Amino acid sequence: MVKITIDYDKCDGADCAECVDVCPMEVLIIDGEKIVIQNKEECSLCEVCMDVCPNEAVNVEE
């Protein structure tokens, strides 16, 4: 099972949202000021969200 975590102490939220822009599966979405995870089971483990996050706030693991 995929485990996705967002460290909200590091995440810049909607002001950044780089991960939301790149996620091909729409797993990461903007909800108000926050980035939230939806439909986690759709995650393809491509890890581009981890690659683009400037704060290393996103972690994806199997």
Residues making contact with ligand SF4 (CB under 6 A) = 4, 22-25, 27-28, 43-49, 60
* Least spacing, CB of residue 33 vs ligand SF4, in Å: 19
Residues paired with 4 in a beta bridge: 60
* Least spacing, CB of residue 52 vs ligand SF4, in Å: 8
CB atoms within 10 A of CB 14: 13
Gap between the Cα atoms of 52 and 10, Å rounded: 14
Nearest residue (CB) to ligand SF4, 57 versus 60: 60
* Least spacing, CB of residue 23 vs ligand SF4, in Å: 3
Angle at 29 between CA 9 and CA 32, to 5 degrees: 70
